Chain A
């Protein structure tokens, strides 16, 4: 009796898991098959009529490949700015006794969801307009950096807190200057944390739509996430061939980067340091 119950329970568990997996796997499978089908449909199925026509069309598109370059510029630019500023800020906040430090960090974290949130878009647009940064990548990078910094500082400070101060003191006794300590000790020891923040920033920027959509008017400057919305046929219906092929190109860099970072650092946020 009990055995039968266990078997039924196990079957039910697998059925539920199966549905869950299928739910998340179907879009991925579509992404893998649709770009190679001619003509593609919404159905998830192996390509009926295998062809590279969609891919060659997207490569011929005047905006497609440049938009991926734009996405890379925005992501890498924001990543560098976020990692450098967050590392310096987190190091200082971790090592110096600033009164009300934790309250400040939590307040920043809370406000940051407003800064890049929809509610702040009008003031941000006006601000960037007054700064004369509309239609520039720099403007987008600055706004995205502002939005991501608090969370990055918060995560990195936690990470740097786990690095014993005795490392730095030891280097100081041996005569190392503050910059040498940062370069020789703190940055290498904090590298897994910095890498995590870097990857996280790139993924955030790669997928961000609203900020570049509002701040970049010139289609030559728009990133992939923004360009994707323009693939319509003349009749006004979505051009599935282009969308599928472009989505595939759009996902590959992020997946590759994620795999690379994961294999090198394993995203260990704690336990990377043992004294």
Chain B
């Protein structure tokens, strides 16, 4: 068990691409930590740098109380699960799981017994003599996990461990992964580009863009109070409404209409300042009657999402999304009033940063 501390970490690839830009990050002992971001944001490079597969241009990596910056991967006491699982095709399941122990020169009988026990714990009983090509994707993923668990590392590193599974299996594997991490309590860093996966699994999430961390926080913080418009845009399965406006007294003028500023933004913005108002579709109520403090518009599109529907309303030329429970959808073309929940309205300055107290 160990904490991970990254200090002023820089990774520059030949050709001048800066994958990591002076990055500082502390991951607590036993934490389930997600690195989230679009492709090319540096999250996989960061994970590989912690593993030792990439060496940083400058900065340090500490695992526990050791500075591992210049140690080879094998000496860092980490286990990594790769996106393609990297199971050795010529070894059986039990040989695969026992491979790290073979490297540590454990006697054959001992390591086979240990690998079998771990495999059974992960629901692989009866598959031990098979080769990876004879397993389903979900089973392969579990073998990869078992191999990581079997070597009892102080840190787990997962590189998009769920992205090769189909959608239904992914949900199942997600639950499995979370329970496993709870049980073993090993510090875990996992990389994903899927915000729903990060929200579901992680204790804390770091949202990355261009080699920098744009926000670190619990799933609740990152979802509820994104620190900037990039995070606001990236998190959430329905995109957040980001509406350009101008501050006018205690209100923001959006198009030709006015929306009341949230309390914490009132003293912090100046009259006439250009701002962006952010509010998630889930926090916008739709009323078919004139409502004070609401934005009037006409329903443009209704999309069914299962238990709810996403209603897209045209407000003075802007498109605003709102979700409503099933069977209460307004008809397309109907005049409606959109009322955001006051405590859920976020105001971003022109440079994209959140007005008022950020999440942390």
Contacts and interface: CB of A to CB of B under 8 A. Distances in A.
Contact of A273 (B53, B89, B99): B89
Contact of B88 (A169, A177, A185, A191): A185
Contact of B89 (A169, A176, A274): A274
B84 A164 contact: yes
Contacts of B72: 172
Interface in B305-360: none
Contacts of A233: none
B86 A167 contact: yes
Nearest to B79: A173
Interface string A253-275: 00000000000000000000111
A175 interface: yes
A56 interface: no
Nearest to A175: B74
A267 B202 CA distance: 47
B100 interface: yes
A175 B100 contact: yes
Contact of B86 (A170, A175, A177, A180): A170
B82 interface: yes
Contacts of A176: 74, 103
A42 B99 CA distance: 62
Contacts of A170: 80, 82, 86
Contact of B73 (A173, A180, A189, A275): A173
Nearest to A174: B100
Contact of A189 (B52, B80, B88): B88
A169 B103 contact: no
Interface string B95-108: 00001101110000
A173 B104 contact: no
A117 interface: no
Contacts of B157: 173
Nearest to A166: B86
Contacts of A191: 90
A175 B86 CA distance: 15
Contacts of A166: 82-84, 86
Interface string A129-164: 000000000000000000000000000000000001
B78 interface: yes
Contacts of A184: 88, 99, 102
A177 B157 CA distance: 20
Interface of A: 164, 166-167, 169-177, 180, 184-185, 188-189, 191, 273-275
9 contacts: A171-B103, A173-B73, A174-B99, A174-B100, A176-B74, A180-B103, A184-B102, A188-B88, A275-B84
Given A167-B86, A173-B79, A175-B74, 10 more contacts: A169-B80, A169-B86, A171-B99, A175-B73, A175-B75, A188-B90, A274-B133, A275-B84, A275-B85, A275-B86
Closest 5 CB pairs between A and B?
A: A175-B74, A170-B86, A166-B86, A174-B100, A166-B82
